[in-house]
Structure 1
Amino acid sequence: MSSNRSSNTLVVPQANAALDQLKYEVAQELGIAIPQDGYYGNMTSRDTGSIGGSITRRLVQIAEQSLAGQFK
């Protein structure tokens, strides 16, 4: 797994593993190889930005579906 050096704190700390899994799934879908050692310094900004943007779109989609199901 990767070491998270971000200063952001999760509202639900237990969600960290799920977010990491989502990151790996999105990278795989985009054809981007995640380094085994967890060091992202050799990745281009374009690749890491693609992963981040796709994760955000996926999380928004999940939230919208959850809210839509909540109000039915």
Structure 2
Amino acid sequence: MAGERNTNTPAAQGATRQLDQFKWTVANEMGLQLGGDRTSRENGSVGGQMTKKMIQFAEEHLKQGNRI
């Protein structure tokens, strides 16, 4: 996005590209287009949905006895 000032640093080095791709995939699934012309609520809802999906993934793996 033009003018993006993301200063977040992923906990896992090298995950930036994958997380960005995940963000766009989730936005697409939600029928949203990300960008500076969108409201904070719209853009933020994508982050909330990403968090829900990551927690669900972790819970499923923990339930199976896998380490994360």
TM-score interval, smaller chain: 0.7 to 0.9
Equivalent position of 1:24 in the other structure: 24
Amino acid at match of 1:58: K
Q: Distance in 2 between matches of 1:55 and 1:48?
A: 11
Question: What RMSD over aligned residues (CA atoms) do the two structures have, in Å?
Answer: 2.3
> Any residues of structure 2 matched to 1:1-72 within 5 Å, and which?
5-34=5-34, 40-69=35-64, 70=66
Residue 46 of structure 1 and its aligned partner are, at CA, apart by 1.8
Q: Which runs of 5+ in 2 are unaligned?
A: none
Where structure 1 has 5 or more consecutive residues not aligned to the other structure, the ranges are 35-39
Count of aligned pairs? 66
Q: d(CA) in 1 for partners of 2:50 and 2:17?
A: 14
TM superposition score normalised by structure 2: 0.75
Structure scoring higher RCO (CA < 8 A, sep ≥ 6) equals: 1
Identity of aligned pairs, percent?
Answer: 39
Residue identity opposite 2:23 in structure 1? K
Q: Distance in 2 between matches of 1:51 and 1:31?
A: 10
